Structure 1
Amino acid sequence: MAWSPSPLLPIAILAAVLFLQAPLALAGDPDLLQDICVADLTSAVKVNGFACKATVTDDDFYFKGLAAPGNTNNTYGSVVTGANVEKVPGLNTLGVSMSRIDYAPGGLNPPHTHPRATEMVFVLQGTLDVGFITTGNKLVAKTITAGDVFVFPRGLVHFQKNNGDAPAAVISAFNSQLPGTQSLAMTLFAATPEVPNNVLTKAFQVGTKEVEKIKSRLAPKKS
């Protein structure tokens, strides 16, 4: 059956815009010092963000990649389509970004953190089990469905799981132009250079064989 846009998509965009229009003093990124500073993604200059382009066009502020669902045919059954400064250079210095996340039935957006941003999701379709873990090791979790909103505080480990038999999708809003994502499994078991096995075996109280098995499954696929 052909996919058609969710009727909740306009509401999701509006909710995200309202979230992103919080006072700039509360934004996750530093305040801007000029009207615009469109990112020059080709520049070799290293600053806290991106250097500014000399020539600006309307396309620097435009992106249409969130309208259609992403391909969830992967190990986790989920895919994130980002609309951050790397896709929308005009976001540079503005302290905001968005993403679309799609989930196949049974799909998981695995435990991860965003070190530079709080995240708010608006459910376009489907039902998700979501949650985050506080630094006191308390799980805050809820089942959310189309039209619902849930917030994941900055830096805390969180996840989303589609336990239903139909696809699900959300729009995410962030108070950072580039929130950063650290997936716990990939960070610990697929880092380069590798995290030493004796660190992982002691941390997870498992044997070397178990650690090596996980590493082999998460290792980048060779072309």
Structure 2
Amino acid sequence: MTLPITLLPLLLALLPPTIAGPIFTTPTTAVPSTTPTSVPASNPSVSPDLMNQLQLAATSEDRFALLSQQGPADTWFKYDFTPDANPNPGGGKGLGGQGDLANRKTFPALINLGVAMSAGFMNPCGMNKPHIHPRASEFLTLVSGTNVHTGFILENGFTDQQSTTLSLYQGAILPQGSIHYEFNDNCEPAVFVAAFSNEDPGLSTIGKNFFNLDPDIVDADLGFPDVLDGTNFAQFEQAIPKSFALGAKSCLDRCGIKY
């Protein structure tokens, strides 16, 4: 009896392996694992004792000599911005990406040089939330990706947002103390590098830190809103006092002041 061709693979699969033999050849190339691997940090840790010695060094020559005694230049005079090398990045980390900051604390070769630098790795639609650098101006350049928006507001006398849209290798300036942000308005990742005019630029995230204030003070500063959602931002903004504002409700009630 002749079996239909379509039944042959099924019959062979039912036979013992010693009779049927392998039907498919086992691939000789290993399939890459999708399990994340742990990459040790390549930037050295700086002990408090070493940091004190560097800061107390009488001259730059003494400081650099001390650093050179710690090990090879590739370790102490080079900084690795690779995300895996910075598990606790100074620029923060979240769903939108992370910012790796080289400042005087994480990269002591910068002590007394007056400069710092960060690398921002932005996921698709990722945003570096509005923030300020209290001690440095920033010059940011896009090195991977496109259509990244930046914006800054300088101060009370100049509150018009200054906005830019960056393409590859274009840069934007973000003045010291200004509220600013970066937004990757794109479905692909983007990377920027940013130079700072201070070895300790500092970072204060506006929304997070503002709401860490006393709740009564926050409520008063926002004009005592009943509801805030995505539909009434414009109306809500108009209710925010421009400058000195009425304070906590408990004080207003006690003093008989209407609000």
**In the TM superposition, what whole-angstrom CA distance separates every residue of 1:159-205 from its partner, at most 9, and x where no partner exists?**
01111111111010011111000110121124xxxx21111011123
TM-score of the pair, normalised by structure 1: 0.65
Q: 1:45 to 1:63 in 2, by over 3 A?
A: closer
Greater shift, 163-172 or 59-68, is seen at: 59-68
What CA deviation, in whole Å up to 9, does each residue of 1:25-62 have, x standing for no partner?
xxxxxxxxxxxxxxx7514998xx94446832233322
- 2:221 is aligned, of 172, 195, 203, to 203
1:146 corresponds to which residue?
A: 168
**Is the Cα–Cα contact under 8 Å of residues 112 and 183 in structure 1 kept in the other structure?**
yes
1:85 is paired with a residue whose SS is: coil
Of 130, 146, 171, which residue of structure 1 is paired with 2:193? 171
Residue range with higher mean Cα deviation, 167-176 or 64-73: 64-73
The equivalent of 1:17 in structure 2 is none
CA shift in 2, pair 1:70/1:55, >3 Å: closer
Q: Which residue of the partner structure matches residue 34 of structure 1?
A: none
Unaligned stretches of 5+ residues in structure 1? 3-39, 211-223
SS in 2 for 1:122: strand
Contact 1:66/1:99 (8 A) holds in 2? no
CA distance in 1, matches of 2:186, 2:227: 34
Deviation (angstroms), 1:207: 4.7
Q: Which protein is richer in helix relative to its size?
A: 2
In 1, Cα distance between the equivalents of 2:110 and 2:137? 17
Shift of residue 67, structure 1, vs aligned partner: 8.1
What does residue 25 of structure 2 align with?
none
Could you list the runs of 4 or more consecutive aligned residues of structure 1 that deviate by over 6 angstroms after TM superposition?
A: 67-73
Asked if 1 retains the 8 angstrom alpha-carbon contact of 2:83 and 2:100, the reply is no
Post-superposition offset of 1:74: 2.4
Q: Name the counterpart of 1:62.
A: 78
Instruction: Give the alignment's TM-score, normalised by structure 2.
Output: 0.56
